[in-house]
Amino acid sequence: LTVRFRVFRSGRGEEECRYDVFEVEEWEGMTVLGGLFAIKEEQDGSLAFRYSCRGAVCGSCAVLINRVPGLACRTQVRDVKNGGRVLELRVHGPLALPEITWLPPGEVLVEPLPGFKVVRDLVVDIRGFFRSYRRVTPWFRDGASEPGAGRMSPEDREKVRPYANCILCGICCAACPVHRRDPGFLGPAALAKAWRFISDARFREKEEVLRVVDSPRGVWGCDTVYMCTQVCPKEVPPTQGITAMRRLLLKEAVKKALGGGEG
Ligand code: SF4
Ligand code: FES
């Protein structure tokens, strides 16, 4: 049994971009990443893609599979090779990629994540993504690891848990319509990370981080369409975190206004 991979290629200074079709022998349990390896090893050593852990932990292998962003190492070929109409609904809105609306059965479409500059083939430039991440400074400062400072109640742990699962794969940003039209938007991953720390009882710099996200390119820029929450492979709910930070900021503003009125 064979499967065909239609793979996006670019970055060689030739034509803008092209699609190459590779026929690969399918095996039981084959993942999209497995298919890309088979192509690289047996047919075209110049194919460029990123990976590291191969176990859905590092987030490096995020690509667009049949126009839906996902982890190549976690996506089973048998689940995505059935052909038919290519749905773009889950990535919401037009992509800066050639129009492909239908795939024949037995074929898998693999493209780079949208919303990021393509470096070569399936490799995208994620430096902006990590710049946004660093802007929200999502880490404990000195002193947070003093004895006793690391203790959390089970309730507090539950609050933080869904957000702590983020593997920084960038899939949420690829699906986010705001991030695609404005790369300066902090993006769902950085905002989810900000909430992960703001909602952590041990974190002392909540005010500092709230000031960073309180902007039209921060929590107020979100369209609240839940695309990020839908596509996240680790079930992180960025939109819920963004909404929670908005509520916190509104509460603060109301308190300030009322306090000012009383004074
Ligand atoms: S929130 Fe989910 S989709 Fe976004 S970077 Fe983290 S793990 Fe990936
Ligand atoms: S290779 Fe690490 S998440 Fe896929």
pLDDT tier at 95, thresholds 50, 70, 90: low
Helix (H), strand (E) at residue 70: strand 68-71
Which protein residue's CA is at the shortest distance from atom 6 of ligand 1?
166
**DSSP state, residue 50:** -
Which protein residue's CA is at the shortest distance from atom 1 of ligand 2?
54
- For the stretch 110-161, pLDDT in tens is 999 988 999 999 999 999 999 999 999 999 987 665 666 667 888 888 989 9
The reported pTM is 0.91
Q: Average pLDDT in the 233-261 region?
A: 92
Shortest-distance atom of ligand 1 to CA 170: 5
Give me the chain's average pLDDT, please: 90
Are the C-beta atoms of residues 197 and 237 closer than 8 Å to each other?
A: no
Which protein residue's CA is at the shortest distance from atom 5 of ligand 1?
168
- For the stretch 177-230, pLDDT in tens is 999 889 899 999 999 999 999 999 889 999 999 999 999 999 999 999 999 999
- For the stretch 50-61, pLDDT in tens is 999 999 999 999
Task: Please name every residue paired with 63 in a beta bridge, in sequence order, or none if there are none.
Answer: 70
For residue 195, what are its two tokens? 């909430």
Q: Ligand 2 centroid to 73 CA: how many Å?
A: 6
Residue 195: closest CA among 227, 229, 225:
229
pLDDT of 262 above 70? no
Q: Ligand 1 centroid to 229 CA: how many Å?
A: 9
pLDDT of 91 above 80? no
